[in-house]
Each structure stands twice: as C-alpha cells, then as structure tokens.
Amino acid sequence: MKKTILITGASSGIGKASVKKFQAEGWNVIATMRSPENETELNELEDVLIAKLDVQDQQSIDKAVQAGLAQFGRIDVVLNNAGYGLLGTFESVAKDSIQRQYDVNVFGLFDVTRTVLPYFRKQKSGMFINISSVGGKITFPLTSLYHSTKFAVEGFSESVHYELAPLGIKVKIVEPGSVTTDFGGRSLDFQHDTNLDEYNDFVGPVMESFQALMDPAKSSPSELVAEVIYGAATDGSDQLRYRAGADAEQMLSARGAMSDEAFIDMMKQQLDIK
C-alpha cells in the first residue's frame, strides 16, 4: 500500500526537498505550509496535497491532519521540520521573540505530534522524524535561544521514543550540519541591542568570524538532507539519530571525542574569541 507522509515547513528548503523526494519515491505527501497561496511548484506534483498549517495555530494543525486523512486515508510518517533561528545576545531579545522561537521550534513540534498521536496509536504504527541540528548537540556563541530549542527537540525525542516504541510508533532525529537553504537569510533573526555596550566588543568580531567561517562550499544541499530523511523513514531500523552532511559528521564526531574544555578552546580559537 502507498505510504503517506505529512511534512511541516514544506514551502522551502529541507521541507520542500523532502516533499519532492518522497513524491518521487511513490509516496503520498501532505505538504503543509503557512502560505499555500504562494506555492506554485508542488501543486504540479501528483499525490501531493498542499495544506495550510501554521505550527503556532492548533486549528490549522487539526484541519491539515484531517484534510490529509480525508485525501489519503492514513498517515505513516510525520516530518517535524518547520523552524527558524534566533541569533544575538540573550539579554537583547524581547520576551515575545523568545516565546515565538519556542512556539515554532518546540511547542509547534509538540502540538503537531500530539495531534497525530491518537491516529498513530489507533493504527498501532507511525513514525515521527524530528529535524534537530548539529546545533542540538553542540553550541556556537550568540545562538543560545536557537540551541536551547534544538537541545529540547533532542531530549524530547529521545525520551518520548521509549514510551511510543511499545505502541509501534517510532521517533527519529535528523541532525543536519550547514545546509544551503533560505535558513541563513529569511529564517535567521539577529537581535542585538547596541545600547548594551558591554557586549559590543564581543558581538562585532564574533559575527565577523562567523561570516568568515561560513564556507558555502562546505554546506550540503537540502536534497542531501531529504535523502537522509528518506533513509530514516524507510530503513526499517530502530536507529534514533541520523547525521546529515559531511560537516555534521565531522563536527559531531569531533565533539564526541573532546572534553567540554577542549571543545570550547577550539571554538574560541576558530572564532578568535579572547
């Protein structure tokens, strides 16, 4: 029987590449996004249902899940992909921006998961694939809020997998490294209040070093991440974590072999932090 995947954040990047990959492999796809009216490409694909879903809006989650079930009869996999990055000094960020970062990256993922869980429980099968990041395992400076959401995704996914496995429901975590998507542009929100001038000597040089370190040649295309996601969905294994990209493999292996102090020293050296 044809399988069905529901994907959040399917308007661009990893989400869109995943829609194309699963569709090309013969799956039904519920491609969800905040603004389906802007979509021009995915509507052309057979067995792809475009549905409106804002992870901050429970009603839209309910409607998209119902529309998907009505169209395809079942859901086999949910790809929790929607997310964005908040950067800057923690003290500068307004409380509502912190709330939004958590609403999208963490509570949105919880809400989509809780909406689909009753169906998975009844059908005694299903899989959640949660998009974390290398940044769910290691941290860079000036990214405390984003990292804390991805660490939350990692901890949540690993723990909840214990209680769901006996019900026939799998949980998988995909950890991309740097991926050439809109994430670094439209999905990154940098906030620093330069009036907090004690931070300025730190922020300027670190942001410059970041730019220098960002080598597009070392980034992976979103199609590569979609391949890893497809592998996670179909390999039949109980593997929990999947790294996506050569940089992810390299950074996470290096981190695993280092003490906290050695890692922090290396980070400071690379970013030229005193």
106 vs 199 by CB, closer to ligand NAP: 106
Catalytic option among 146, 199, 230, 242: 146
Cα 150–chain centre separation? 8
CA distances from 97 to 101, 147, 198, 251 (A): 6, 15, 22, 29
Q: Give exposure, 79-106, as e/b (b: 16+ Cβ within 10 Å).
A: bbbbbbbbbbbeebbeeeebebbbbbbb
Number of H-type helices and E-type strands within the chain: 9, 11
Instruction: Provide, rounded to whole angstroms, the least separation between the CB of residue 108 and ligand NAP.
Output: 6
Q: State yes or no: residue 56 binds ligand NAP (CB under 6 A).
A: yes
89 vs 133 by CB, closer to ligand NAP: 133
How many CB atoms lie under 10 A from the CB of residue 50? 21
Among the candidate windows 42-50, 160-168, 177-185, 197-205, which touches ligand NAP by CB under 6 A?
177-185
Q: State yes or no: residue 182 binds ligand NAP (CB under 6 A).
A: yes
Assess whether 230 carries a catalytic annotation. no
Q: State yes or no: residue 243 binds ligand NAP (CB under 6 A).
A: no
Q: State yes or no: residue 82 binds ligand NAP (CB under 6 A).
A: yes
Instruction: Provide, rounded to whole angstroms, the least separation between the CB of residue 177 and ligand NAP.
Output: 7
Query: Are 52 and 258 spatial neighbours (Cβ–Cβ below 8 Å)?
Result: no
| Alpha-carbon dihedral 162, 163, 164, 166, rounded to 10 degrees | 90
Q: State yes or no: residue 35 binds ligand NAP (CB under 6 A).
A: yes
Instruction: Provide, rounded to whole angstroms, the least separation between the CB of residue 74 and ligand NAP.
Output: 22
Q: State yes or no: residue 252 binds ligand NAP (CB under 6 A).
A: no
Instruction: Provide, rounded to whole angstroms, the least separation between the CB of residue 223 and ligand NAP.
Output: 11
> Could you identify the residue written with the tokens 């690379």?
270
Nearest residue to ligand NAP on Cβ basis: 13
Spell out the residues 6+ positions from residue 261 whose beta carbon is closer than 8 angstroms to its own. Answer: none
Among the candidate windows 32-40, 62-70, 163-171, 265-273, which touches ligand NAP by CB under 6 A?
32-40
- Considering only residues 36, 88, 141, 176, which one is a binding residue for ligand NAP as defined by CB under 6 A? 176
Query: Are 101 and 147 spatial neighbours (Cβ–Cβ below 8 Å)?
Result: no
Residues facing residue 172 across a β-bridge? 129
d(CA 131, CA 80): 6
List active site positions: 132, 146, 150
Residues in contact with ligand NAP by the rule CB under 6 A: 8-9, 11-15, 33-35, 54-56, 81-84, 104, 108, 131, 133, 176, 178-179, 181-183, 186-187, 222
